[in-house]
Amino acid sequence: MAASQLLDEQDDIDSGDFHVMVMVEDRTCPQIGRTHPSPDTPSSGQVADKPNDSKPTRLARGFRKALRKNQDYIRITIPKSSVSRLPSEWWKTGIAFIWAGFNLILTTVMITIIHERVPDKSVSPPLPDKFFDYVPRMEWAFSVTEVNGMILVALWFIQWLFLKHRAIVGRRFFFLQGMLYLYRMVTMYITTLPVPSMHMDCAPKLYGDSHGKIKRVLQLVSGGGLSITGSHLMCGDFLYSGHTVMLTLTFLFIQEYSPRSLFWRCYHVICWLLSAVGVVCILIAHEHYSVDVVVAYFITSRLFYWYHTMANNQALRGSPHNYLNRTWWNLVFNFLEKNVKTTVPCTFSWPVSLPSACFKNPCKSYSKVQSTRDE
């Protein structure tokens, strides 16, 4: 009995298994021995007149034809390892989203509280700022900042939707966004700066009107905290700049989670220009002090780099010499990144995948079996 094996390594997306096709042929071995020449056997001269490889070719063809007949197939399922180095864990992404939303709402509440403490510009004029001394105010500049910010957020959202590992990237973005809102809330509360320019008209103070303050919070949240929507009429949220945070954070994520080919590098340059022009226009519009923008950029970029340094270097996480482990949010980092065992690659996939059964031929695995038996 002779046996030959046919391995069909098929990665079944639905079950995550490998299938091995084993082909078994029941065939008696041919007897090999000396045979007497037949009268019909051509002489050596006649054989020499034919090509030398004609007989081996006929034997090979006959063997292949015989191999296709009387075959049985056994399907053996070998389970694939269920442990993934990049698990999605969408429930963690949901927790990070709640974290970002909670700090966003808390920041708007803090802005409403701080607004009541901002001194009147007739009593406390704007502080001296070196940038303002040399660059006059342009009224249109802040609209450019907010339009650029909305474009960057839209580009990042579309790019994030098509990322293969969008769950991991999403929870990183939401966690860092929540952290930056939390830090901003603290800096705004502990030091209240006067308005940076005399052109700013702050909404009237409400003092003990709790109902009016709640309405302002809802108005600020519904308008996205943008001046072009008419939702941001309060003052006091100067240190540090929330617009600079979003312009910087979205660009850093766009750059980090995209390829490095020529096309994508051009895309990075465009996004960088949108971010840089938006930040400069904040100062040209005299909507923030220069220190507000510098501190916002520094905190956003350092926090992004610290987080991704620990996330992309597995050896640093448990190292006793890694001082980044001493950050107060290290426990939250370990919770979010515990099961991520490698660097997240810049690969893309469709945001909504249709069931594979809609495209999969149920007889695809046995097409070769059927074709050989049909013969």
Catalytic residue list: 243, 288, 292
Within the chain, where are the H helices?
A: 44-48, 54-67, 90-115, 130-134, 141-161, 166-190, 210-222, 242-256, 262-284, 290-312, 314-317, 330-337, 367-374
Helix, strand or coil, per DSSP, at residue 47? helix
Q: Which residue is listed with tokens 């960057």?
A: 152
CB–CB of 289/127 below 8 Å? yes
Contacts within 8 Å (CB) and 24+ apart, 128-132: 129/196, 129/289, 129/290, 130/290, 131/283, 131/290, 132/196, 132/197, 132/283, 132/286, 132/290
Q: Nearest 5 degrees, angle CA 149-CA 151-CA 153?
A: 70
Single-letter residue type at 196: P
Burial track 319-335 (b if 16+ CB lie within 10 A, e otherwise): eeeeeeeeeebeebbee
CB–CB of 66/320 below 8 Å? no
How many whole angstroms separate alpha carbon 348 and alpha carbon 346? 7
Phi, psi (rounded to 5 degrees) for 163:
-75, 140
Verify cis geometry, omega within 30 degrees of 0, for the bond prior to 305: no
Residues across the chain: 375
- Counting Cα atoms < 13 Å in the Cβ hemisphere of 364 gives 11
Going by C-alpha positions, the residue among 274, 300, 238 that lies closest to residue 146 is 274
How many whole angstroms separate alpha carbon 156 and alpha carbon 160? 6
